[in-house]
């Protein structure tokens, strides 16, 4: 016994949803209030599980060693405080009966309720009937420079388990988890998360700007103590093991700047809910695909480029004797313009961050060698020895536009290292892209610039046709003159 009068009182243990010390998931807590004159030396919670439908007397065992027991840290001072004891790995449809035994530093012993007699402490029940894990996911913002996507996430589930998990859902792709809040509703516990903003990274080719697209995915896994029979996403019921399309949209709570960022993209999203089986936990995978929708800003950049390549193509129509100066004036203007255009365009709209140049920059840079080639072949066309030969002059034009077209294709071809399946194995390999990867715009630009081949090719064909006609005309004229000369000769003509 203690050397002087002391107080050591411990209340009846009650089930708690949080503890004073960090504990692993799948853990409930038995909490007691303690009043002690002297510091506590030892604190143990003894408990035993019984079935939920058990109607017999409390499980009083012969010795303390036969109970499950749990220890906790104790304060080093006296006074009034709360102790939390973990109840690890409880099973559904069970009740934990328990009591607490304390020793203080003076040798005093105290039991909850004054004796080692277990009382119902925590109940662990199965899920609420037809329990559904409800999720809300919306796209809040897409960074125009880095393409990071901010996603707003919320989740909740009605469940009658009476202990709180550490997290509601684990997000493997971030990685992070949704912290859980708990309340009670209609006899069942409602677990819900705070509305959380998560940032996910893209998979895509920013070099194809302004015709780029990106893919994002998020994977959520429910923690194992949450029981639910179905899952919904944004009020759409998900069928297990089936892909559900059109499940996401932009957030309605976005700011003005975020709405501006959203307006640049066409959003498509689908979800796959994989139901749990055996030891496998259920999880949800969301696939988000965005495609840039060129706005008036992007078209304000693209239209001048189309016009410039069209001007280069049309410049070959200038074939008169004094048109060399006109051509060179066009080429010099485009050459100088291409340098300033890039800085203007990058200030007008944010370019996605890439390791090299994007397609818009490559198309603009290709103007420089293309105009240089056309200018050089124009000098060749007007050389005295070639200018007098119409076919040779048109061949120079044809060669110039053909070389410029090839140069455009070479400059706008690049490779990006991507993860691709190779012989059944995912490998990091270079994947090639070109102007034709831009779809209709790339094909239209090539056709427009390549149309410059038509005029010199047609002139060459026409010139060859006329040359052939002249040659045939000369041959007919020589034959006619020969027949007339033969008729003028008489029979006594020695040459006859």
Least confident of 36-40, 199-203, 345-349, 394-398: 345-349
Higher pLDDT, 273 or 24: 273
The confidence score (pLDDT) of residue 271 equals: 94
CA distance 204 to 291: 10
8 A C-beta contact, residue 129 and residue 160: no
Q: Tell me phi and psi for residue 269, to 5 degrees.
A: -145, 145
Residue 90 burial (10 A CB sphere; 0-12, 13-18, 19+): buried
For tokens 């003076």, the residue is 106
CA distance 314 to 307: 10
* Mean pLDDT, rounded, of the chain: 83
Does the pLDDT at position 435 exceed 50? yes
User: Which residues partner with 196 through β-bridges?
Assistant: 153
The residues, ordered by sequence, that sit 6+ positions from 81 with a Cβ below 8 Å of its Cβ are 33, 34, 75
Does the pLDDT at position 144 exceed 70? yes
Residue range 164-205, pLDDT digits in tens: 556 678 887 777 888 777 776 665 677 788 888 999 999 899
Does the pLDDT at position 380 exceed 90? yes
Dihedral of CA 348/352/356/362: which sign? negative
The confidence score (pLDDT) of residue 185 equals: 63
Work out the pLDDT band at 57, boundaries 50, 70, 90: confident
Rg, Å, the chain Cα set: 42
For tokens 């035993």, the residue is 48
273: closest CA among 226, 234, 231, 217?
231
Higher pLDDT, 476 or 260: 260
Residue 141 burial (10 A CB sphere; 0-12, 13-18, 19+): buried
The confidence score (pLDDT) of residue 130 equals: 65
Q: Which helix (H) or strand (E) covers residue 402, if one does?
A: helix 390-411
Structure tokens belonging to residue 484: 């007339």
The residues, ordered by sequence, that sit 6+ positions from 50 with a Cβ below 8 Å of its Cβ are 56, 59, 94, 95, 97
Residue 115 burial (10 A CB sphere; 0-12, 13-18, 19+): exposed
CA distance 23 to 85: 10
User: Which residues partner with 110 through β-bridges?
Assistant: 102
450: closest CA among 315, 313, 334?
313
8 A C-beta contact, residue 261 and residue 255: no
pTM of the model: 0.68
The confidence score (pLDDT) of residue 213 equals: 92
Does the pLDDT at position 241 exceed 80? yes
The confidence score (pLDDT) of residue 152 equals: 93
The confidence score (pLDDT) of residue 233 equals: 93
Residue range 293-346, pLDDT digits in tens: 877 667 778 888 899 999 999 999 988 888 899 999 999 999 888 878 877 777
């Amino acid at each position: 016994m203690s050397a002087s009068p002391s107080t050591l009182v411990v209340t009846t243990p009650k089930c708690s949803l949080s503890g004073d010390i960090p504990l692993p998931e799948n853990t409930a807590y038995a909490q007691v209030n303690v009043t002690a004159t002297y510091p506590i030396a030892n604190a143990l919670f003894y408990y035993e599980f019984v079935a939920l439908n058990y109607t017999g007397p409390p499980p009083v065992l012969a010795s303390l060693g036969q109970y499950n027991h749990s220890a906790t840290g104790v304060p080093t001072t006296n006074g009034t405080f709360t102790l939390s004891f973990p109840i690890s790995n409880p099973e559904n449809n069970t009740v934990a009966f328990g009591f607490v035994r304390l020793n203080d530093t003076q040798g005093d012993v105290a039991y909850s309720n004054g004796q080692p007699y277990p009382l119902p402490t925590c109940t662990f029940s199965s899920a609420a009937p037809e329990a559904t894990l409800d999720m809300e996911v919306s796209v809040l913002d897409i960074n125009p420079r880095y393409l990071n996507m901010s996603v707003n996430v919320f989740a909740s589930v009605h469940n009658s388990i009476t202990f709180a998990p550490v997290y509601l859902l684990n997000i493997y792709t971030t990685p992070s988890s949704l912290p859980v809040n708990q309340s009670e509703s209609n006899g069942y516990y409602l677990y819900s998360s705070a509305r959380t903003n998560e940032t996910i990274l893209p998979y895509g080719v920013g070099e194809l700007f302004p015709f780029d697209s990106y893919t994002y995915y998020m994977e959520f896994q429910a923690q194992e103590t949450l029981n639910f029979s179905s899952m919904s996403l944004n009020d759409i019921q998900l069928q297990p093991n089936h892909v559900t399309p059109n499940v996401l949209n932009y957030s309605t709570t976005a700011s003005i700047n975020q709405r501006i960022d959203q307006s640049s993209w066409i959003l498509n999203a689908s979800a796959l809910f994989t139901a749990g089986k055996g030891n496998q936990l259920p999880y949800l995978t969301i696939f988000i695909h965005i495609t840039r929708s060129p706005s008036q800003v992007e078209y304000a950049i693209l239209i001048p480029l189309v016009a410039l390549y069209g001007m280069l193509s049309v410049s070959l129509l200038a074939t008169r004797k004094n048109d060399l100066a006109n051509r060179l004036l066009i080429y010099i203007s485009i050459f100088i313009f291409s340098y300033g255009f890039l800085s203007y365009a990058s200030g007008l709209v944010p370019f996605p961050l890439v390791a090299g140049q994007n397609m818009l920059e490559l198309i603009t840079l290709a103007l420089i060698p293309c105009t240089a080639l056309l200018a050089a072949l124009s000098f060749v066309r007007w050389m005295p020895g070639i200018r007098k030969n119409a076919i040779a002059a048109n061949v120079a034009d044809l060669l110039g536009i053909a070389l410029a077209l090839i140069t455009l294709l070479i400059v706008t071809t690049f490779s990006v290292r991507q993860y691709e399946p190779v012989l059944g194995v995912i490998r990091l390999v270079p994947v090639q892209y070109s102007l034709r990867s831009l779809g209709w715009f790339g094909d239209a630009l090539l056709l427009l610039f390549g149309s410059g081949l038509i005029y010199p090719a047609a002139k060459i064909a026409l010139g060859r046709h006329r040359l052939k006609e002249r040659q045939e005309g000369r041959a007919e004229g020589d034959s006619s003159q020969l027949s007339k000369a033969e008729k003028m000769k008489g029979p006594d003509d020695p040459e006859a």
